[in-house]
Structure 1
Amino acid sequence: MKMDVRDSEEDRERELLLFYKQQHEWACPLHCTLVGDVAIGEGVMRYFMTTIISKLQFGFSLDLGGMGRTLLFEGEPDHLVPAASETLIESNLFRVAGRMLAHSFLHDGPHVTGLSPAVIHVLFNGDPEMATVVTEDCPDLHIRSIIKLLENEELTPEQKDTVSDLSMSWDLPAVTETNRRWLHNKLVLHAVVGRNMRQIKQLRKGLKDVMLWPLLTSRPDVVPLLFPKMAEMEFTPQMLLEKITWPVEDSDDEDFDLDSTCRITGFLRMFIERGTLAQLLTFWVGWEMLPPELRVEISGGTFPTSSTCFQTLKLPAYFKIYMDFEKALVAAIKRTGFGLV
């Protein structure tokens, strides 16, 4: 896998999509190259996987559907469903998304979070009629507002016409006094599952292409690891601080300066308690997943850097005040996104 960091964001996205549209031996060792950057090692692979999942989670800059930014999944957190776009379906992009999801999982990478439980249920061959759907699973706010009219005690003639227009457009009967609850459930089910069956089938094919399907079907307990809820992926400053191995004085290290070490590590603690943890972690290790251990070194360098392969953050010792430290670390994070791997 190759990406030229000098290309525009859209061109880099095209390279990623082209790679995943082709069939590969997905279980083989993955070699990633950043053209135009000196970075090497496992950290580059982490950067690629983070980029891929970020595009799936938050959208591509490419305008693939005439709507500006291209979202493959839309809706509220923990209620995300595949986008109802004919262009994306015809381009087979949900099969590509399935390959991306499975490939990242194979390489112990990050995951797309917050997918609707109803979509996950149907994705793994669950009966659509047995899927637990809620109105929050419907990403189209206009359609959702129409469906929610059925929760009112009484409907005006205009509201009945609005609901009936929607239901009949989906080959369902018009609303009556006796079928309101049934129609409500059918409309929600179609809005969440029925309109997305082709996308779900493409996702399933993508998972099968990467040969992850046998594991997922034989071990249902693995499915929540592939599709975690949003809350399960959140971490606090305290959780990050507990993973850090702080620098300690070594009797053989004549250059160790206790005062500088205490000052800089104190600045880092303050930054973690105040800062954007996900961006810092990506700079530190290459993606937004907490590893078993994080390391900090005090260096004689000019700018903060990191060795993502060894999960080590290297901080210069010369900072005397916190604001200078914060400014330099934020600039380093924004400049590279990840450290020197």
Structure 2
Amino acid sequence: MDLGNSAEDRERAILSFYKMAHVNWTSPLTCTLKGDPAIGDGVTRHFFSTIMSKLQYGFDIQFAPGGTLLFEGEKDHLIPSTSHFLLESDFFLVAGRMIGHSFLHGGPCLGGLSPAILHVLFGGSPEEAIIDLKDCADLEIRETIKLLDGEAELSSEEKDTINALAMSWDFPRVTSENRRWLFDKLLFHAVLGRTCRQVHQLRRGLKDTQIWPFLKERTDTVPLLFPRISDIQFTAQIILDKINWPTHDDEEDMEVSLEDTCRVSGFLRTFIENASSKLLEKLVQFWVGWNVLPRYFDVEVIESSYPKSSTCFHTLKLPRHYTEYSIFKTDITAAISTVDTGFGMI
């Protein structure tokens, strides 16, 4: 990836790579960041973190007036976008390849998909899928369908709203006799009926990466590939428990004093203890190259101007000069914000 290019140009390069046919996605991957001195495994981790972030939160390229999100809705209820442009351009095939490729290399996964979508993706009968009203990503459609849930008498205006939706999807008008049936049919179509081709493309993309036989044989790995967002929240204690704090076994050989080391390390601990889950995720990504927790983190206090990381060695390098927490917090936050552009580019 050329970091001198715009964010949109980098996205086009990534999409072109994953649109290539007949690629052996199980092969070893070497990544280079043009315009950044970083090399090694940390660059590969940055690459996978970038592509999975695009799938999770959207692309910068304005592909269509409807937006750039491939998966829409609430966390743990995400469904594929119904954008005709994204479907016809095979973006869900690309998404499947990205997800499988990242999984093969131990990288980040796509979290928060609707259980109903996952049920169908892995061969379950659509009619047997358990669909939650929250799975309907379009809030206007959801509110219309919700009117049918219950036994309260519908007003003329509510009936008109329901009938307009039902008739646009070739369903009959609402009556007292078909009310519950219509609720189920409209919800099914909103969640699974309009996304069946997208799910088919996603499955094809996963199969292209050759992980499909493994997933079918080991269904217990599916939650690892598509975790619930509520199950992957970063907490301060999880990160603190994995940190190897700097020590001064032989202080005469150390370039930084014990006092400076303890003070700056304390600032980092305070920052972690007070950061949000989202900020902690960004910190981990800055620290090791992606938002997957490693077995350990290392911390060094050094002579430097700004915080930086050696992602290949899981090492966060903090300048010794901080004497006020407010300045440390400002600089570490600025450093974390560079994860989308590269390493050391503040």
TM-score normalised to the size of structure 1?
0.95
Q: How does 1:118-197 map to 2 (within 5 A)?
A: 118-152=116-150, 153-197=152-196
Gaps of 5+ in 2: none
Structure 1 residue aligned with 2:53: 54
Deviation at 1:189, TM superposition (A): 0.8
Q: State how many pairs are aligned.
A: 338
Alpha-carbon distance between aligned partners in 1 of 2:146 and 2:331, rounded to the nearest angstrom = 50
Q: Which amino acid aligns with 2:332?
A: L
Q: How does 1:188-227 map to 2 (within 5 A)?
A: 188-227=187-226
Q: Which amino acid aligns with 2:205?
A: G
Deviation at 1:253, TM superposition (A): 5.3
Alpha-carbon distance between aligned partners in 2 of 1:328 and 1:249, rounded to the nearest angstrom = 25
Q: Which amino acid aligns with 2:31?
A: C
Deviation at 1:165, TM superposition (A): 2.7
Matching residue within 306, 313, 320 for 1:303: 306
Q: Deviations over 1:277-306 (max 9, x none)?
A: 122111101111211101111112222111
Gaps of 5+ in 1: none
Structure 1 residue aligned with 2:7: 9
Deviation at 1:332, TM superposition (A): 2.4
- Structural RMSD (CA): 1.6
Structure 2 residue aligned with 1:289: 292
Alpha-carbon distance between aligned partners in 2 of 1:43 and 1:195, rounded to the nearest angstrom = 39
284-293 or 153-162: bigger deviation = 153-162
Matching residue within 88, 91, 94 for 2:92: 94
Work out whether 1:113 is the aligned partner of 2:111: yes
Q: Deviations over 1:185-237 (max 9, x none)?
A: 11111100000000000000000000111011111101110100011110211
SS at match of 1:295: strand
Alpha-carbon distance between aligned partners in 1 of 2:164 and 2:334, rounded to the nearest angstrom = 54
Structure 1 163/285 Cα, relative in aligned 2: closer, same or farther at 3 Å?
same
Deviation at 1:339, TM superposition (A): 4.2
Alpha-carbon distance between aligned partners in 1 of 2:157 and 2:335, rounded to the nearest angstrom = 58
Q: Deviations over 1:108-140 (max 9, x none)?
A: 111111100000000111100000101110011
SS at match of 2:312: coil
Deviation at 1:321, TM superposition (A): 1.6
Deviation at 1:90, TM superposition (A): 0.6
TM-score normalised to the size of structure 2?
0.94
Matching residue within 274, 279, 282 for 1:279: 282
Q: Deviations over 1:34-81 (max 9, x none)?
A: 1111110001011111110110011111111123x4110100111100
8 Å CA contact 2:285–2:339 kept in 1: the answer is no
Structure 1 335/164 Cα, relative in aligned 2: closer, same or farther at 3 Å?
closer
Q: Which amino acid aligns with 2:141?
A: I
177-186 or 167-176: bigger deviation = 167-176
8 Å CA contact 2:136–2:191 kept in 1: the answer is yes
Q: Which amino acid aligns with 1:202?
A: Q
Work out whether 1:313 is the aligned partner of 2:316: yes
Alpha-carbon distance between aligned partners in 2 of 1:239 and 1:122, rounded to the nearest angstrom = 34
Alpha-carbon distance between aligned partners in 2 of 1:58 and 1:169, rounded to the nearest angstrom = 30
SS at match of 2:64: coil
